[in-house]
A and B are shown apart, each in its own frame.
Chain A
């Protein structure tokens, strides 16, 4: 991976960051972007948490790909999360590779951490985010918003720092990783670690990076983000640039070349070791386990308002996972809304055009 262009501001956490593993992260850095203006009383801050392979470029162009921010349709002046009213923050999670401390960062000995980087959890990511909020002088968020892994961070913040957010919006997410979720992640990790260029994670000074393994990991994961109906609608069994089957192993079907394109594009902007660390963090995620085995205990006494949104074609974090959260919030007496939205595109629906989602987000965050 190339060094990240120094585009985002970086917050250096002034104290050692304690981690769930018992280790401590010294000199932790968090890269972030902000949009809008913080009110004098800091009451209008909205923290948006990114998904597994996302980053802080929420509503501004990505410095490597040049593509628009990943939720540019949702965040901006007059948009559902309105930057004319709210001060929106999006930070690169620790363990990632867009400027925040992660395996590609330099350890105190001047060499990249690589696999010496401590294993982190979702709660550790949120520890980093809370440290950033402290640094920005934000006591209490107007709202914390997240989809997928971002939703896990939002839930973790609500469960562990309940006084830090007045509203919690969780989209297409879960309170724990299921065996199936872990299984898919393990396929991705094994693909990376099976790549000879991975070299036990010490590839930062090498000519070759484990791009093949990382691309395969991305391809496998990408399938879980889509729905069968969406794939069929988009590609069916159509062939790519040819009239007849070639009886070989080139990317003959359109869906194959699409996945290869997704995989190779991903290696240009993401670090393979970060993929290992972040998927691990997600696999460890289980809020109930952190709170004596009962999810409702995680939210007992919360003052925050919650909104949980699922998509009917999401089989990665299906509606049942969202209902599980809603039931726990009800049992805890929390103010909660829940809606299952209809969309053809599976888990990825939260990133795509969806008027109903826009209205729900706007109505809840306003």
Chain B
């Protein structure tokens, strides 16, 4: 990853570094538009976003980005097939009503998809549950069970299974611990976050 992307969250930086320049991109759950801004300015991409939180959408629009306030569970259906080169879902899969259906929609509207998520099988999470006996509150999953937006916790291995079941091919994958990229071996234990690039 190059230095200019260092201001991005590591999973977003990995995505930004691997989106082909000039692509049409849909960033689902785009937050304040950090990734979109990077893709537009550094890679000349045509980036569109979707975000549920009106205040974040307002910030995106105020910085000149094209972002639609909407619920990815419902509104992805309004986009035509293969309208984008890439559909990106960063840190949002675990908040989806039906992650399996959302993955279908991602691979329908995009020729390729990037998905990043916190790995529930990370050793810290496992330890918290095993030794504490309570739902883990960790660096990667910092919110208590009763107020978290994450309704479907997922692990690296679960995600691989889902992708296989959906007939999606894993093109590439990146894993992160401590804000740093780590290797694929034992990622299900070691990774706090994972990023997958999928195609179908």
Contact = CB atoms under 8 A, between A and B. Distances in A.
Interface residues of B, number: 22
A333 B48 CA distance: 10
Given A335-B48, A339-B57, A362 B80 contact: no
Nearest to A342: B54
Nearest to B64: A363
A341 B54 contact: yes
B48 A339 contact: no
A312 to B, nearest CB: 8
A327 B66 CA distance: 14
Interface in B134-190: none
Interface SS, B side: mixed
B79 interface: yes
Most B C-beta atoms less than 10 A away, residue of A307, A339, A364, A366? A339
Nearest to B24: A333
B80 A331 contact: yes
A364 to B, nearest CB: 6
Contacts of A71: none
B78 A337 contact: no
Contacts of A337: 57, 60-61, 65-68
Interface in A221-268: none
- Interface range, A side: 20 to 34
B17 to A, nearest CB: 24
Contacts of B69: 338-340
30 contacts: A326-B68, A326-B70, A326-B78, A330-B79, A331-B78, A331-B80, A335-B48, A335-B66, A336-B48, A336-B68, A337-B61, A337-B66, A337-B67, A338-B68, A338-B69, A339-B54, A339-B57, A339-B61, A339-B67, A341-B58, A342-B54, A356-B58, A360-B58, A360-B61, A363-B62, A363-B63, A363-B64, A364-B61, A364-B64, A366-B64
